[in-house]
Amino acid sequence: MNLSAPTLPVFIVSVILAVIALLVHYAGVSIPWASKHAFEVLLIGYAALFAGNIFKGI
């Protein structure tokens, strides 16, 4: 299996989702769509990063 670097947009989206999840969980920031689902938001961010590493061109 050959891994490839994710594209810049995928990397940025995954970092933004991870930061949102961490802010909601640890800083108590209230974001309506993420407040009750912080773990899922973090999981989606890392799933996007994983897909960007596995599939070339994503």
| pLDDT in the model for residue 57 | 76
Domain count within the chain: 1
Residue 27 placed within a domain? yes
Does some domain include residue 32?
yes
Confidence of residue 49 (pLDDT cuts 50, 70, 90): very high
Does 45 map to a domain?
Answer: yes
For 6-46, write each residue's pLDDT tens digit: 999 999 999 999 999 999 999 988 989 888 999 999 999 99
Look up the pTM and report it: 0.86
17 contacts: CB under 8 Å, gap ≥ 6: 41, 42, 44, 45, 48
Residues spanned by the domain of 22? 8-54
